[in-house]
Amino acid sequence: MPDILFIKTSSLGDVIHHMPALTEARRQRPQARFSWVVEEAFAPLVRVHPAVAAVIPIASRRWRGALAAPSTWREITGFARAVRARCYDEVIDTQGLLRSAVVARLAHGRRHGYDASSIREPAAAWFYDIKHRVPRGLHAITRNRMLTGLALGYVPDGSTDFGLSRHEIQTMSAAPYGILLHATARAEKEWPEAAWIALGHVLTARGGSLLLPWGTEAEHARSKRIAAEVANARVPERQPLDRMAALIAGASFVIGVDTGLIHLAAALGVPLVAIFTASEPGLTGPMGSGPIAVVGGKHRQPSVADVVEAFEQLT
């Protein structure tokens, strides 16, 4: 049985964008065993994918903040041991960064990755045994599928399938609800707080509740400020990623800025309006089987009216 190791550690959107490559690889190589190295925060979501036999969590984000601690180096040693515990037939780094290429080098097996012209950090290509050229101007999902197909010897075809079941994941709720995703790690991707409040007022007339998830204390404070101005809005407890996936799967709709959770909504087929302000949707925009509307774009902030119009067309 072929043994395959994927390396795609972060961010959340990147991890979700790799899932169609895994789904297709399983279809093309049904006898293979698939393992995945991923950042520890995203491991609960990766474990939900039915093709994953083993998840190897990495804590590079946490380790960077405590490199002097002996416990950090014990964890790093334990991670290296876990990566080297099996001999893989193929090791595929679809991240294409120096840090992910180093992980690939740790693993036993034939190492595949992008060639130097195909990635933002060309030095990463030094660590691979086999280097593949994949055009950089393609959507991230297409690039992941192409690299995986080149490494495993098939040509990607068919529709994008994330391998996730909305029905199996969703949280059951007696009343309908929508989700507003205002939080993002990059300030330039944010949509104004006043715009979220104005949008909430429009959505209130449609009935149902609005949930305002959060991840950091600053995001929690913003959620509470928005909820205080919108009659049917509430702020849920902070959720681990697998429970957040269940919450999104059960939603009637999601409206959110360019953050990993909108890609999760798209992957689950939840009706989605994605608000872009600082990045190019053609390269990293949401894709999925459900209704999706994208408003705004790089250096083009949409108005509340734009979002409302997209939402009305969606529903």
pLDDT tens-digit profile of 5-42? 999 999 999 999 999 999 999 999 999 999 999 999 99
Q: Domain extents for the chain?
A: 3-152, 166-314
Q: What is the pTM of this model?
A: 0.92
**Among 153, 93, 95, 152, which residue's Cα sits nearest to residue 128?**
93
Residue 1 has pLDDT above 90, yes or no: no
Residue 315 has pLDDT above 90, yes or no: no
Residue 173 has pLDDT above 80, yes or no: no
Q: What is the pLDDT of residue 171?
A: 75
What's the whole-number mean pLDDT along residues 209-234? Answer: 97
Q: What is the pLDDT of residue 42?
A: 96
Residue 172 has pLDDT above 80, yes or no: no
**Average pLDDT taken over every residue of the chain:** 95
**Site of tokens 């994949």:** 134
pLDDT tens-digit profile of 38-63? 999 999 999 999 999 999 999 999 99
**Among 45, 57, 53, 58, which residue's Cα sits nearest to residue 19?**
45
In which band, very low, low, confident or very high, does the pLDDT at 98 lie, cut at 50, 70 and 90? very high
pLDDT tens-digit profile of 289-300? 999 999 999 889
Are 256 and 180 in contact by the 8 Å Cβ rule? The answer is yes
In which band, very low, low, confident or very high, does the pLDDT at 314 lie, cut at 50, 70 and 90? confident
Is CATH 3.40.50.300 the right assignment for the domain spanning 166-314?
no
Are 278 and 299 in contact by the 8 Å Cβ rule? The answer is yes
Residue 259 has pLDDT above 90, yes or no: yes
Q: Determine the Cα angle at 132 with ends 298 and 263, to 5°.
A: 35
DSSP string, 79-113: HHHHHTTSEEEEEEE-S-SHHHHHHHHHSEEEEEE
Q: What is the pLDDT of residue 299?
A: 85
Q: What is the pLDDT of residue 279?
A: 87
Is CATH 3.60.110.10 the right assignment for the domain spanning 3-152?
no
In which band, very low, low, confident or very high, does the pLDDT at 205 lie, cut at 50, 70 and 90? confident
Q: Quick check: do 3-152 and 166-314 share a fold?
A: yes
52: exposed, middle or buried (C-beta count within 10 Å: 0-12, 13-18, 19+)? buried
In which band, very low, low, confident or very high, does the pLDDT at 302 lie, cut at 50, 70 and 90? very high
